[in-house]
Amino acid sequence: MRYNQLGNTGVLVSELCLGTMTFGGRGFWETIGKVPQEEVNQLVKTAIDGGINFIDTANAYSEGLSETMLGKSLKDLGINRQQLVIATKVRIRMGPGTNQVGLSRLHIMDSVNDSLKRMGLSHIDLLYIHGVDPLTPLEETMRGLEDVVRSGKVRYIGISNHPAWMVTKANAIAERNGWTKFSAGQYYYSLASRDIEREIIPMAQAENIGIMPWSPLAGGFLSGKYTRQQEKAGDSRRDEFDFPPIDKVKAYDIIDVMLAIARSHEVSAAQVALAWMLKKPGVSSIIIGAKKMEQLNDNLASTQLELTDAEMEQLDAISALTPEYPAWMVERQMRDRFPQ
């Protein structure tokens, strides 16, 4: 296991991060996973034993139950709190109240207090804003985040599912006021969907923001269970919850290449997908989730897989983005930038 900087901070996080979306399985999240407490403890222990020091949850996962189960797991296992970097999130609705949602200063403060209580912790290492709230001015959100940082309840802040322009604007607001800037960005990124390479990753590199990809296996579609001949895996959440959206025709072509490379290394297709992402610029830590111990162990093994330059080129070529404006114009105009 290698360790990378959390953005422009001095904190080091493991290149794989344990995601907890499968913990509990309450309400909407039931289709994603219903891992009970005993198995949660086993997954957390295996992850830590495998070198993971970074755990990601969210207040909305299983309506708060994921945070509760994570906190109990740390207590049951007797984990030294200072060994871990724990991240959670705020934005999604957490109750019927008019203001129990969004990124207002009020909801940020309430959510942080509630998350700390559920997890039984004194502070959150990394707090992400989970998505865009068009009703709340960015100035108010950044002030609310600064308040919880200065209170000592949050150490660092991150951003998720926001367009690049909003991230740079928010960081500019923070810099102008002497407030905390974003250190991490959590975005959907996979071999089947490289959209963030257009604007998000270049922005993150310019802003010193570490990219933490979520759903690196495209909701299980790149696990190797899905092929043109087998459109239903039978034991995957993708069968019932077809998310995140992907171009499946293109994804099957990618899977063909992945499976060939996997056979040559005698590993799973999932390991190939993760190993590819571990070598991509800007990626600090990949969020992996598991319902079963064998899934977690297989994901952990991806850190030992070294893809060749030729294999990386194969995967890059089959999954390449279609050029979009203004990128194709920039490339075209660069042709005469240097003297012939």
What are 253-292's pLDDT values in tens digits? Answer: 999 999 999 999 999 999 999 999 999 999 999 999 999 9
Query: How buried is residue 135: exposed, middle or buried, by Cβ count under 10 Å (0-12/13-18/19+)?
Result: exposed
pTM of full prediction above 0.85: yes
Q: Which residues are catalytic?
A: 61
Task: Give the model's pLDDT for residue 237.
Answer: 74
What are 300-310's pLDDT values in tens digits? Answer: 999 999 999 99
Task: Give the model's pLDDT for residue 29.
Answer: 83
pLDDT over 80 (residue 201): yes
Q: In this structure, are residues 139 and 121 in contact, taking their beta carbons and an 8 Å threshold?
A: no
Peptide bond into 36 cis (omega under 30): no
Residues, the chain, total? 340
d(CA 265, CA 139) in angstroms, rounded, equals 50
d(CA 94, CA 27) in angstroms, rounded, equals 12
Q: In this structure, are residues 61 and 24 in contact, taking their beta carbons and an 8 Å threshold?
A: yes
CA distances from 326 to 5, 14, 334 (A): 31, 35, 12
What is the mean predicted confidence (pLDDT) over 35-50? 97
What are 203-255's pLDDT values in tens digits? Answer: 999 999 999 999 999 999 999 888 888 777 667 777 777 889 999 999 999 99
Mean pLDDT (the chain, rounded)? 95
